[in-house]
Amino acid sequence: MKHLFILLSLISLLSSCSENQTNQEPMTTVANDITESNVQAQPVIEYVWHKKGANFSEDALNAAIDQWNALIDQGEYQIQFANILMADQPNEDMDFMWSILWDSMAARNAGWQYWQQNQESQWQSMTSELLTYSEEHAYAFAPTVQRSASAESDSKSFRAQYAFCNFNDGYSQIDLAQFQTAYHAWIDAYERDNGPTGYWYVDLAPQFESEASSDFVWLHLWADLDEQTTGMTDFGQSPLAAQVAAISTCQNYDFTGQGIRG
């Protein structure tokens, strides 16, 4: 979690220097040669949906993670960090996600190309009874930190909630910005009363086309489940809960995260 915090804090600085790309290239597309002489590359964080196989177990997954890291070390590309995110409510398409931070979309495309040409068949042979995944369900976002945590954690585990939101009629980004100002003040007051926390949140700008588009996507992060439960309960009792509910309608998805690289 500590490494994740540091990296995403750096991302927030990088993001302010670059324009977001608007389309995600297919995994099989060869990365174009891009000259970035005066433009800072936009990092992207990618989420690859996975399904558990017939012989899935936590021990087997941990062993596979070690094998995966060995493959990454051998590969001719670089991954900044990676996490495993186990869904609280799995569905027919996804039991957990493999999240990966890339330096840029070009680095992501080149990394996938190398993986598919040199390592994917070996990985599938090793994990055929453990897990499955498909390029159909791999989604990249440009992240920007909106609020940093006031307390760091050395634990590799954390809690995450993804909120996919659309504005209700009559509301816009202006109202959201006003809410964020009040929200940050509420967090300041909460932490004055309760002490520093590991809570922070990130804006995720989709880098792919989607029929069900969202007006904004937020990733909320906590150090553990107790911190998430306590914080959300207190927020739900504040006037801001009604305010944000009037502004937007959100679909929330909760996960338990584990850092596996970086």
| β strands within the chain, DSSP E | 44-52, 81-87, 96-102, 131-147, 157-167, 200-206, 216-222, 248-261
Contact by Cβ (8 Å): 248, 232: no
User: Which one is predicted more confidently, 33 or 119?
Assistant: 119
pLDDT of residue 12: 39
Name the 3-class secondary structure at 260.
strand
Task: Could you please state the CATH topology (level 3) that the domain comprising 2-32+40-142 is classified under.
Answer: Alpha-Beta Plaits (3.30.70)
Q: Which CATH class is domain 144-261?
A: alpha beta
pLDDT digits (tens, 9 = 90+) for 121-158: 999 999 999 999 988 899 999 999 999 999 988 888 99
Residues of the chain with CATH 3.30.70.100: 2-32+40-142, 144-261
| Cα distances (angstroms) measured from residue 102 to each of 44, 48, 78, 177, 252 | 5, 13, 7, 28, 25
Give the tokens for residue 144: 């920007």
pTM, rounded to two decimals? 0.85
Give the tokens for residue 262: 């970086």
CB atoms inside a 10 Å sphere around CB 220? 20
pLDDT of residue 153: 80
pLDDT of residue 262: 87
| For residue 27, pLDDT beyond 60 | no
Amino acid at 88: D
Mean pLDDT of 30-58: 75
pLDDT of residue 212: 80
pLDDT band at 195 (very low <50, low <70, confident <90, very high): very high
pLDDT digits (tens, 9 = 90+) for 88-107: 999 999 999 999 999 999 99
